[in-house]
Amino acid sequence: MEKIEEEQLPYAHWLYNIPGVGRKTIKYLLSEKGTPEAVYHMSQKELECLLDAMHAKSTLAERIIDSKKDWNIKRAYENLKEKGIRFTCLGDEKYPGRLAQIPDAPYGLYFQGKLLMEERPSVAIIGARNCSEYGRRMAQHYGRELAAAGIQIISGMARGIDGISQKAALDAEGFSLGVLGCGVDICYPAENRELYEMLCKRGGICSEYPPGTEPKNSLFPPRNRIISGLSDVVLVIEAKNRSGTLITVDMALEQGREVYALPGRVTDALSEGCNRLIQQGAAVAFSAEDMIHSLTGRETGNSRMGVQRSGKALLSDMQKALLENLEDTPQSPEIIKERMLSKGGSELTLPELMNQLVKLSLMGYARQIGNSYFVKE
């Protein structure tokens, strides 16, 4: 698609909103006329001749002409801006480059906040809505660590893994982009209102659907191709064997994206989809540090890529106390918490304790066995 100038966007916005005019028709019209404005000024006879050549419906030319009567080009575009909503399309410099490369890229995108920075890598973190505590912790961990390393986090703002990872990314002062299956002026699900507002202010929200479009089940599967299309890598945290998450994985593979999956216990239904993906050749998500190294080329002090761990002076007092309570035999976080309390240690919540244990594991001081046990390394 040829580059278009800013003044063409109101016309592109009109063209994108004509009922019955899809990607193929828009692409064909622009290939013949060059710009959306040139299409706007075509006569009905010119349109009929062009559309007849592509075997379009005979009424389509009339529909395009009629749409001009009902659509105030400049006013409709200004209305978006007044609501804090922006529009971009293929050929516009603001349109995400990664997304433009997929075969079925949407011609137009609405967005609030910002879109991706092309020079920075991006990871889609997806998974179960009704996730486990393990899934919640890992979504927080990967969202936070990847974002803190400058990697952009993309997801669908859904409850569960999606929303948890995006909030963690923003809490780490990183960037996250939410891709919606409704208009960008609608918060869905409503329970994620706080996240929605955070994304609008400090990250971004985008959708191929016009403002005012209500969420419907049929709109979410097409939305998933945008999540994967915007990403360099797709990371699956938790998924059942028959999960909607795997639709996004299929789209990612078709688009040539790399897929990572977080391994889980073979007895956990929520890990069945991830374990099967690994069996089928997906990369194993051993640590956020390994992913950072793979995407940026930078090695971190926590990486499994052969970097030596730092001295104990770098540990916080809490981590030092926690390390003293680890043993050579596997212990659950609950047991470790009890040992610390019996010695007058700080009263951490289990999620806080688990977070510190994971950090110690990534730093090389502890080793995680299965999903819930730790030993001193």
Does residue 95 fall inside a structural domain?
no
User: Under a CB-based contact definition with an 8 Å cutoff, are residues 145 and 269 in contact?
Assistant: no
Q: Which of residues 248, 270, 296 is at a domain's end?
A: 296
Does residue 109 fall inside a structural domain?
no
290 lies in the same domain as 325: no
Task: Please give the span between the terminal C-alpha atoms of the chain, in angstroms, as a whole number.
Answer: 55
342: tokens are 């019996």
Per-residue pLDDT of the chain (377 residues), as tens digits, is: 678 999 999 999 999 999 999 999 999 999 999 999 999 999 999 999 988 888 777 789 999 999 998 899 999 999 999 999 999 999 999 999 999 999 999 999 999 999 999 999 999 999 999 999 999 999 999 999 999 999 999 999 999 999 999 999 999 999 999 999 999 999 999 999 999 999 999 999 999 999 999 999 999 999 999 999 999 999 999 999 888 899 999 999 999 999 999 999 889 999 999 999 999 999 999 899 989 988 887 665 544 433 333 333 357 778 888 888 888 777 788 888 888 888 877 677 877 788 788 778 767 788 776 556 777 87
Q: Which of residues 50, 82, 114 is at a domain's end?
A: 82
DSSP one-letter code for 331: B
pLDDT of residue 115: 97
Domain count, the chain: 3
326 lies in the same domain as 290: no
Does residue 102 fall inside a structural domain?
no
345 lies in the same domain as 208: no
Angle among Cα 122, 127, 133 to the nearest 5 degrees reads 115
CATH number at residue 355: 1.10.10.10
CATH number at residue 60: 1.10.150
Does residue 113 fall inside a structural domain?
no
Model confidence pLDDT, tens digit, residues 5-62: 999 999 999 999 999 999 999 999 999 999 999 999 999 999 999 888 887 777 899 9
Q: Which of residues 32, 59, 82 is at a domain's end?
A: 82
User: For residue 123, how many other CB atoms are within 10 A of its CB?
Assistant: 28
In sequence order, what are the residues at sequence separation of 6 or more whose Cβ sits closer than 8 angstroms to the Cβ of residue 369? 330, 375
289 lies in the same domain as 372: no
76 lies in the same domain as 167: no
Does residue 218 fall inside a structural domain?
yes
337 lies in the same domain as 197: no
Q: Residue 161: helix, strand or coil by DSSP? A: helix
User: For residue 369, how many other CB atoms are within 10 A of its CB?
Assistant: 12
d(CA 75, CA 200): 24
d(CA 342, CA 179): 47
Query: Which residue range is the domain that position 364 belongs to?
Result: 312-376
Does residue 305 fall inside a structural domain?
no
256 lies in the same domain as 326: no
d(CA 340, CA 130): 31
Does residue 101 fall inside a structural domain?
no
